[in-house]
Amino acid sequence: MYLITVLGNLLIILAVTSDPHLHTPMYFFLSILSLADIGFTSTTVPKMLVDTRSHSRVIYSNGCLTQMSFYMLFGCLDSLLLTVMAYDCFVAICHPLHYKVMMDPRRCGSLVVVSVVISLLVSQLHNSMVLQLTFFRSVAISHFFCNPSQLLSVACSDPFTDDLVMYFVGAMSGFLPISGVLFSYSRIVSSILSVSSPGGRWKAFSTCGSHLCVVCLFYGRGLGVYLSSAVSVSPRMGAVASVAYTVVTPMLNPFIYSLRNRDIKRAIGRLLRKV
């Protein structure tokens, strides 16, 4: 599944960059999302595969902190990019005549840069808070990677600090992006319902259909991970939910966009013929 994830997202990136017809804001954001998905999966899966082959389950503190840092970085970046793509859909449907002005290359680049900077700040702030916590010399985590929630649960410090860290990180990487997505789609739905012809409604909805599927998959899996860690007493269930979130979701994204998008299909076909 890891190879499928990497190859699928890499194929999307190559198709977008090689086809001039796809040099639009929507596909630009899609290529950045694919790059973030590769990083998100590569943060955890290669280490897990190496541990499985070597029958070793040890990770040192520096390695754990590094893995957690990149996990938070790419996870937050995924969430913010989905919000940016929702804004792109909102502008395309609700303000089509001003789309080229509102989503010019400079603004698109700025939105990506801001998303990366915010993700870096959230990741480093989370790491700085974790470094202030106290742990035993050797601890066991019931997970296949250094999951932030699992790591905070084995800390010896005041649990109030742990909860504060989780709530803050959750607000920055989850609540605010979800709020942006919900606002954009509330305006999109309102605009679609105002269209009189069924054909016009379907055309408007098809513009953001793939993105809506990816949003539901990403946040649905994320909610599943949160509920499994908060409600379930079985660490195994939490690990299974995390595998689905970190591996299955990034793997399905290229299929969702390629199967529902004729432009992507054509670009991938032309790319494969060249190869």
Helices 235-243 & 198-230 angle (0-180, nearest 10): 150
Question: Which regions of the chain are under pLDDT 50?
Answer: 136
Q: How far, CA to CA in Å, does 3 sit from each of 36, 49, 79, 212, 240?
A: 15, 12, 23, 25, 19
- pLDDT recorded at residue 57: 65
- pLDDT recorded at residue 87: 92
- pLDDT recorded at residue 106: 92
CA distance 144 to 126: 20
Residue ranges in 95-197 assigned as alpha helix (H): 99-102, 105-131, 148-153, 159-170, 176-193
Q: Which of 70, 72, 88 is nearest to 30 (CA)?
A: 88
pTM of the model: 0.84
- pLDDT recorded at residue 108: 92
CA distance 65 to 157: 17
Contact at 8 Å (CB) between 273 and 265? Answer: no
